[in-house]
Structure 1
Amino acid sequence: MSQPHDSGSLDQEAQQQLIQEIGRTIALALPPGWQAANVEYRQVGSHRELVASLLAPNGTEIPIAPPGDVMALFTRLRAGMYEPERGTWVSALYRLQRPGSYTVDFNGDHEPAWRSAPPAEAYAQELHRFPRTGSVVPEWLAQRAGAPHPGDQQPSLRTAAVFDRDGRPITQRPAVEPGLHEQLLAYLESAPIVLAARSFDTDRLDPAGEAAVPLTFHTDGSWIWPGAVGYYLRRHGVAPEDELVEHIRRSGFRLPEVDEPTRERVVAEITGEQRS
């Protein structure tokens, strides 16, 4: 699934630096004598809004023209704060108080109070560019994007292939980068095992050797893979499917919790495939 090249690329320090840069940019654009100001950025898909106001001592909000330069900074921050499978925020409220205090509230769950309604395609663009797993897609976003709500449809499961149609290990994939090798192995081998046999299979790349390939199935709730995937990577350097590798990279090599209903779904998926 295509995503902007910088999505999720900002670590905590970089996020704080950009947040402070946004504050400085806002402060420089405010009129002399200001004491407090609010700036709110809203975005879904390609639809963006930026509104600003000064706060009078009695709490009244006085609308002002928002500083144009800050929109690009908010856009960058939003993309950089994307979390794999969790998405990113859809609005941010930046509060400034003279002489130099600020707070920022990020909203990823509730529909913003749009000044003008986003076009219908913006909601689908949002889920395409910043994918979320079904359980964290807000109902309003799912409905407007034309996607089923999480309660209506469970996310699909992907199964990784180890062998080609002739039963041979797939060895033509690009080699795993050295720095990722151990992280991938840890993810593949530490994921919950949902099915396992007591015996081991023959190593297809070393058929004369001792049977050592684990007859297991692992899952992280999104993908299913045989234990052979980790074995052939560890023993022979055979890379997993490109899309599985990318999925694991997007997760930050952190395994999610896999609940019991998901494990049951995975077992049903595996046994159904085995019967076919």
Structure 2
Amino acid sequence: MSEDRPLEPAEQNALFQEITQALTHALPPAWQECLVAYRALGSYSEMPGQVTMAAGSGLPSPFTPPRQVAELFERLRAGMYRPGTGTWFTATFRLTFPFTYDVRFDGEREPAWVVAPPKPAFAEERRRFPRDAEHTPDWLAERPAGGPELPIAKPFDSTGPDGRPVVERPEVPAEERDTLVRYLENAPMVLAARSFDADMMDPGRAREVPLTYHTDGTWIWPGAVGYYLRAHGVPPEPELVAHIRARGFEIPEVGDDVRSAAVAVITGSS
């Protein structure tokens, strides 16, 4: 259930003003109109933007809004949640030079995603912003039925003919690595063995790979994921990284029921 405090109309207007200010400071000189579409589900979000210049062809060009704008929209989305009816999925914000804005919300239709959100985002949305059945659109209620709601991340993509791990994933930026490792290693542990496994990247190394499983209530991952990132720079699955980044690298509280569900998924008893 959402723990975010509802925002009063005056507080919502204050956030609109902050969004306007952040955009005007980031837009190029001689801009005429800016359009931003903030789309969110659970902790997944995307925010494509475009800008039209005062002089030129009159056709819009792609524009990347500052991260601050996404944070303001997320506060707005959480603060506009109403028990039983949910909150919006898409906010379309149109800013016309110099400070005139128009904003529209859609809390029913599935957003026109640029990149489809991972499956865990659907379950996370329902947990964070619960809706009564009559206010839950079919696309939100039915999408997760095709698979488990707590996917298990793998340390590697595959194993080569020589038995060594194969990884084909985007690198984790150096400035995020330590923060990501802390998240992976400090998230609630739901299963653990007393022994350690061998290092598949360096078999001659001491056995230090933890035989554990962690969860943040949306994903499950073995302790090896954090170990290989810390010891060898092996990036986790990109969907897991995107999820953790969208959470601001903050580990949530995970209830006993979710921990039990994670154990059931790991052991195959779910």
Q: With the length of structure 2 as denominator, give the TM-score of the two structures.
A: 0.55
Match of 2:171 in 1: 175
Match of 1:191 in 2: 187
Question: C-alpha displacement at 1:142, in angstroms?
Answer: 4.6
Residues 198 and 207 in structure 2, CA contact (< 8 A), matched pair in contact too:
yes
> What is the CA deviation profile of residues 80-130 of structure 1, one whole-angstrom value per residue up to 9, with x for unaligned ones?
5343xx9816xxxxxxxxxxxxxxxx5322659xxxxxxxx9613259699
AA aligned to 1:88 is R
C-alpha change, 1:237 and 1:146, in structure 2 (3 Å) is closer
Matches of 1:201 and 1:87, distance apart in 2:
45
C-alpha change, 1:122 and 1:221, in structure 2 (3 Å) is closer
Matches of 1:88 and 1:239, distance apart in 2:
31
CA RMSD, Structure 1 to Structure 2 (Å): 4.1
Matches of 2:112 and 2:255, distance apart in 1:
24
Match of 2:125 in 1: 133
Matches of 1:87 and 1:191, distance apart in 2:
27
- 1:249 maps to 2:245: yes
Matches of 1:210 and 1:267, distance apart in 2:
28
Match of 1:269 in 2: 265
Residues 157 and 167 in structure 2, CA contact (< 8 A), matched pair in contact too:
no
AA aligned to 2:80 is N
Residues 79 and 88 in structure 1, CA contact (< 8 A), matched pair in contact too:
no
C-alpha change, 1:80 and 1:226, in structure 2 (3 Å) is closer
> What is the CA deviation profile of residues 158-199 of structure 1, one whole-angstrom value per residue up to 9, with x for unaligned ones?
110113343643433222101101110110011011000000
Q: Please, which of 195, 200, 204 is the counterpart of residue 200 of structure 2?
A: 204
Q: With the length of structure 1 as denominator, give the TM-score of the two structures.
A: 0.54
C-alpha change, 1:80 and 1:252, in structure 2 (3 Å) is closer
Identical aligned residues as a percent: 42
- Structure with the greater alpha carbon radius of gyration: 1
Match of 1:18 in 2: 18
Match of 2:77 in 1: 88
- Report 1:1-276 matches (<5 A): 15=15, 17-18=17-18, 81-83=72-74, 88=77, 107-109=80-82, 123-125=108-110, 133-135=125-127, 136-139=129-132, 142-148=135-141, 156-166=149-159, 168-272=164-268
Match of 2:95 in 1: none
Question: C-alpha displacement at 1:262, in angstroms?
Answer: 0.5
Matches of 1:124 and 1:17, distance apart in 2:
26
Q: Which runs of 5+ in 2 are unaligned?
A: 1-13, 22-38, 41-67, 87-105
Matches of 2:112 and 2:139, distance apart in 1:
11
AA aligned to 1:161 is K
Q: Which runs of 5+ in 1 are unaligned?
A: 1-13, 22-43, 46-76, 90-105, 113-120
Residues 150 and 220 in structure 2, CA contact (< 8 A), matched pair in contact too:
yes
Residues 185 and 230 in structure 1, CA contact (< 8 A), matched pair in contact too:
yes
Match of 1:33 in 2: none
Residues 169 and 204 in structure 1, CA contact (< 8 A), matched pair in contact too:
yes
C-alpha change, 1:16 and 1:255, in structure 2 (3 Å) is same
